[in-house]
């Protein structure tokens, strides 16, 4: 699947100081229309999460903040801040590959959040996350 391949490629663009997370926005033709990866540390901005970067990149490029016709894919389950941005941009469906143990929350009813079951891709992402967090300790 092209989406998973792009998500994995984007992880390599993350700074070694940023948590390796990536996101893409997909249109109704199943085409990638925007991408994002964590830039919180490299840009020194608290909102530099992959999901928000993908959303902001699309909004700036298209000059349109209504993303209701798009779907978000992310390597990691979005945090509450990202859920707020997803909701504000009217995205209705989110797919993710890896659960985030720190993000155990109830979703707003207007957002469908679906875990993709792909053990091979999930293992690659978990491995990158483990390497990153071991480096911090």
- Residues with a known catalytic role: 51
CA angle (17, 23, 29) in 5-degree steps: 160
Calpha distance 8→63 (Å, rounded): 27
Residues whose CB falls within 8 Å of the CB of residue 68, separated by 6 or more in sequence, listed in order: 90, 91, 92
């Amino acid at each position: 699947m092209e989406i998973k391949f792009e998500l994995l490629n984007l992880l390599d663009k993350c700074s070694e100081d940023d948590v390796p997370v990536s996101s893409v926005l997909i249109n109704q033709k199943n085409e990638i229309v925007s991408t994002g990866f964590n830039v919180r540390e490299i840009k020194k901005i608290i909102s530099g999460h992959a999901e928000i970067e993908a959303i902001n990149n699309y909004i700036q490029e298209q000059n349109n903040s209504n993303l209701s016709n798009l779907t978000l894919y992310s390597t990691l389950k979005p945090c509450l801040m990202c859920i707020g941005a997803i909701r504000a941009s009217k995205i209705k469906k989110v797919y993710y590959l890896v659960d985030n143990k720190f993000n155990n929350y109830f979703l707003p009813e207007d957002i469908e959040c679906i875990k993709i079951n792909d053990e091979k891709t999930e293992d690659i992402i978990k491995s990158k996350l483990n390497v990153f967090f071991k480096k911090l300790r």
